[in-house]
Amino acid sequence: MARIGIAGAGLLGRLIAWRLAVAGHAVEVFDPADGPAPRFDGQGAAGFTAAGMLSPLAELDNAGPTVATLGLRSLALWPRIAQRLAAEPAVQALPDGAPQVRVQGSLMLAHRSDLGAAQRVLARVAEGRTIGLGAPQPLDAAALTALEPALHGIAHAWLLPGEGQIDTPVMLQALAAAATAAGVRWHWGATVTQASAGQLVLADGRTQRCDTVIDVRGVGARQAGPLASADPRPHLRGVRGETVWLHAPGLGLQRPVRLLHPRHRVYIVPRAGDRVVIGASEIESEDRSEVSLKTAVELMTAAHSVLPALAEARILRLDRNLRPALPDHEPRTVIDHGLLCINGLFRHGWLLAPALVDDALAAADLAAPLA
Ligand X SMILES: Cc1cc2nc3c(=O)[nH]c(=O)nc-3n(C[C@H](O)[C@H](O)[C@H](O)COP(=O)(O)OP(=O)(O)OC[C@H]3O[C@@H](n4cnc5c(N)ncnc54)[C@H](O)[C@@H]3O)c2cc1C
Binding-site ranges for ligand X (CB under 6 A): 7-13, 30-33, 44-47, 49-53, 191-192, 216-218, 220, 241, 243, 279-280, 321, 323-324, 343, 345-351
- Burial (0-12, 13-18, 19+ Cβ within 10 Å), 206: exposed
Cβ 166 to ligand X shortest distance, Å: 8
Q: Which is nearer to ligand X, 100 or 145 (CB)?
A: 100
Q: Which is nearer to ligand X, 44 or 232 (CB)?
A: 44
Cβ 50 to ligand X shortest distance, Å: 3
| E strand map for the chain | 3-7, 26-31, 53-54, 101-102, 106-110, 137-139, 156-160, 164-166, 185-188, 192-196, 199-202, 207-209, 212-215, 237-247, 257-260, 266-271, 275-279, 314-325, 332-335, 339-343
Q: Report the alpha-carbon distance of residue 143 to residue 161 in Å, rounded.
A: 14
Whether 208 contacts 5, CB under 8 Å: yes
Cβ 190 to ligand X shortest distance, Å: 7
DSSP 283: B
Whether 66 contacts 330, CB under 8 Å: yes
| E strand map for 22-105 | 26-31, 53-54, 101-102
Q: Which is nearer to ligand X, 51 or 98 (CB)?
A: 51
Query: What residues pair up with 199 in beta bridges, in sequence order?
Result: 196, 209
Cβ 299 to ligand X shortest distance, Å: 11
Select the residue whose beta carbon is closest to ligand X and give its number.
Answer: 10
Q: Which is nearer to ligand X, 154 or 221 (CB)?
A: 221
Q: Which is nearer to ligand X, 91 or 356 (CB)?
A: 356
Q: Which is nearer to ligand X, 40 or 115 (CB)?
A: 40
Cβ 112 to ligand X shortest distance, Å: 27
- Burial (0-12, 13-18, 19+ Cβ within 10 Å), 131: middle
Q: Which is nearer to ligand X, 115 or 227 (CB)?
A: 227
Q: Report the alpha-carbon distance of residue 200 to residue 368 in Å, rounded.
A: 25
Q: Which is nearer to ligand X, 111 or 187 (CB)?
A: 187
Cβ 35 to ligand X shortest distance, Å: 11
Cβ 323 to ligand X shortest distance, Å: 5
Cβ 89 to ligand X shortest distance, Å: 25
Among 35, 65, 288, CA closest to 172: 35
Q: Report the alpha-carbon distance of residue 53 to residue 60 in Å, rounded.
A: 13
